[in-house]
Amino acid sequence: AQSVTQLDSHVSVSEGTPVLLRCNYSSSYSPSLFWYVQHPNKGLQLLLKYTSAATLVKGINGFEAEFKKSETSFHLTKPSAHMSDAAEYFCVVGAPTGRRALTFGSGTRLQVQP
């Protein structure tokens, strides 16, 4: 079985300050991990993915995430928040080979203050 826990339902930062969105996963196999972003009234956009290559993954819009197997974590970071980063972020764990269902975390709403 697989599951994912996003540790914060809501994070508020000031523009220009670092962003940290926390995610822990549980999986009985070597997982694929993803971060998706959902802006208001928009679809789900892939930010980045980890698929057992480099443990530090760079994504779009300056985001990156580090896979830490010992901590079963996949936290999302950005050095400097921008107002346009305000959105809902989902940590997602992929299924093992042969299955395709993604398991979503409950989401973290990022608020960026001017």
Partner 1 sequence: EPEVTQTPSHQVTQMGQEVILRCVPISNHLYFYWYRQILGQKVEFLVSFYNNEISEKSEIFDDQFSVERPDGSNFTLKIRSTKLEDSAMYFCASSADTGEAFFGQGTRLTVV
* Interface pick for partner 1 out of 20, 46, 54, 60 (rule CB under 8 A): 46
Q: Which two tokens stand for residue 74?
A: 């996949």
Tell which one of 2, 49, 66, 72 touches partner 1 (CB under 8 A).
49
Q: Considering only 19-27, 69-77, 79-87, 104-112, which stretch makes contact with partner 1 by CB under 8 A? A: 104-112
Stretch that binds partner 1, among 11-19, 34-42, 56-64, 66-74 (CB under 8 A): 34-42
Q: Supply the DSSP string of 18-51, one letter for each residue.
A: -EEE-EEEEESS---EEEEEE-TT--EEEEEEE-
